[in-house]
Structure 1
Amino acid sequence: MPDLGVYNMATLTGLLGPAKAVMAMTSIITPERTVDDKGKIKVEAEDNAHLLLEHDKGVISHVMCGFNFFDTHGHEAKDQKLHSIQIFGNKGNMRLIGYDWETNGVVLDNSETEPPQLLETEKGGYEWQEGARVTGESIVTGKEPRINVEHALHVLEIIEAARKSSDTGMKIKLKSRFPWPMV
């Protein structure tokens, strides 16, 4: 979860608001893995996780993450056409094409008669590695970045609560919040 799922947890809580509770199931599917620079390693943390996050106003989100899902693109998002995040509502849905750390657009489907629209294909120069620049700029200008410490700590609490939920089979209430909406 902290390697891959953290991105989806941050994106979903950023869009939908802080989570109030989490239920999860986690497992290790591949007990031994070959890592490029380390050779064979024993897997000690979950490599398969499914989380249900409860947000305000009855909103529920789901995160599925792990190292066991086949994807021809691997982690290269440049030519990715599949969606990694999908938001459903009663008047439409939107799908984030590619990964939330490197998107290739958003598909908006909100008409029963018109085809879905591909929007926001331009990244505006954004690179996912810009976190350090944004943080430095925030320190210099005194302007709070959209991604803040409270949000990061909230996501960390989600990860820990998901592990506890998986271990106990219980829904775990969360205590942390962060300033929302973010824009």
Structure 2
Amino acid sequence: MSPLRIGVLGAGMIATGGGGVLPNLDSIRHKAEVVAIADVVPDLAKTVAGRFGIPNAFTSLEAMLDGVELDAVVNLTPIPVHGRTCAQILAAGKHLATEKPLATSMEDADRICELAAESDLTVVCAPFNMLYPDRAEARRLVREGAIGKVAFARVRSSHGGPASGAWPADPTWFYQKGSGPLFDMGVYGIHEITGILGPARRVVAFAGITEPTRTVRGGPFQGKTIDVTADDNVLMLLDFGESTFAVVDGTFNVNAARGPKLEIYGREGTINLSGRPFGGDGPPLEIFRMDAVGGLRGWIAPDLPDGDAPMRRLVGLHRAVLVDHLADCVASGTRPLLNLEHARHVLEIMLKADEAARTGQAQELTTTFSLPE
């Protein structure tokens, strides 16, 4: 089968950085070939095209869709324009891999789902954490009752914010309404815990702005003062029904942490995901069992299915894993693990969390999705 002809929308850091899409495609060139790139910043697409040997460069999505034959588009635009650009790509009949979140309104998310269904198009939506074998193993362990009835989970999905380090571009927009840490970072934790436990039913949240301004601490914009208009500190409580809860953070206030990225507490044990490959220590997954060996309780670090090779491969792809997953799903005709329904549910949680924080009332969730078998 010929490789997918890919157009990349957005030529910024997510496209070109060391962990970005373009530098990490070499190992899957038999699956996907980038034939075009577009960016609204004058000359940026042309410069990036020259750097990565991409034959066509455009200054708009419309020009790229009209100017070259494509099978799919990878959407790497800023958060506020995801909804509009994803809909345009699908309306043009192209498969889609998009950065998170899917959109910033349920109306846009619903429209994206409708367009994909109408034309039988495949959509893959970041974040990609649930592709990792340790996350899949955690889901299997929970489903098979390895820790008994799940009581609650703690999920850390925050960092200090782009202004806290040497961010290579102007980080202002991360702190403006329409973006913020909930959409930027909280989406990871929500996606992971729902990807393990399944859809949530209600959300309660607290949110606010910790400081009205931020000063960029490093990089080319060091010293710049940013007016913060998006809530930069969001804590959520998810209700999964039957007295199963999860606490998830989405803030720009975690400059350092020693705790695990995710822990799930059950009546018969605990599952710990250390944060690897995202900087954690220790094995990627541990399970505490009340009857680990002969009635003795203790921690176990189980071997992941198929060993370490699948994890190493996925980690090596970095953000190009989205393209890899899209190409595999299109070729096989299978439903993506990173599917639209899950992304839409995560978006509803984030939007309802904002509403819960404003009103002080728990918000019922109406969307759902199904976990893989």
**TM-score normalised by the shorter chain: which range applies?**
0.7 to 0.9
Instruction: Return 115-124 or 8-17, whichever deviates more.
Output: 115-124
Summarize the Cα distance change of 1:147–1:41 in structure 2 as closer, same or farther, 3 Å threshold.
Answer: same
Identity of matched residues, % = 28
Matched letter for residue 150 of structure 1: E
Shift of 1:99: 5.7
Structure 2 residue corresponding to 1:94, chosen from 271, 274, 289: 271
Shift of 1:120: 4.9
Matched letter for residue 298 of structure 2: P
Matched residue, 2:314 = 126
Matched residue, 1:161 = 352
Aligned to 2:256, the other structure's residue is in SS state coil
Summarize the Cα distance change of 1:135–1:37 in structure 2 as closer, same or farther, 3 Å threshold.
Answer: farther
Runs (5+) with no aligned partner, structure 1: 73-80
Retained in 1: the 8 A contact 2:187–2:250? no
Could you say what the CA RMSD is over the residues aligned between the two structures, in angstroms? 2.3
Matched residue, 2:298 = 115
Matched residue, 1:52 = 237
Structure 2 residue corresponding to 1:30, chosen from 191, 197, 211: 211
TM-score of the superposition, structure 1-length normalised?
A: 0.84
Q: Deviations over 1:108-134 (max 9, x none)?
A: 111363431234573242224212220
Shift of 1:140: 2.5
Q: Deviations over 1:75-120 (max 9, x none)?
A: xxxxxx7411110000000111116867750121113634312345
Aligned to 1:110, the other structure's residue is in SS state strand
Retained in 2: the 8 A contact 1:17–1:56? no
- Computing the radius of gyration from Cα coordinates, the structure with the larger value is 2
Number of aligned positions between the proteins: 174
Matched letter for residue 11 of structure 1: E
Instruction: Return 42-51 or 3-12, whichever deviates more.
Output: 42-51
Retained in 1: the 8 A contact 2:204–2:237? yes
Q: Deviations over 1:41-98 (max 9, x none)?
A: 22221211111111133211110221112316xxxxxxxx741111000000011111
Structure (1 or 2) with the greater helix fraction: 2
Structure 1 residue corresponding to 2:327, chosen from 136, 152, 163: 136
Retained in 1: the 8 A contact 2:276–2:284? no
Aligned equivalents of 2:284, 2:232: Cα separation in 1: 28
Matched letter for residue 267 of structure 2: N
Retained in 2: the 8 A contact 1:150–1:177? yes
Q: Which protein, 1 or 2, shows the higher relative CO under an 8 Å CA cutoff with sep ≥ 6?
A: 1
Summarize the Cα distance change of 1:17–1:120 in structure 2 as closer, same or farther, 3 Å threshold.
Answer: same
Aligned to 2:326, the other structure's residue is in SS state helix
Runs (5+) with no aligned partner, structure 2: 1-181
Retained in 2: the 8 A contact 1:8–1:100? no
Matched letter for residue 234 of structure 2: A
Retained in 2: the 8 A contact 1:21–1:174? yes
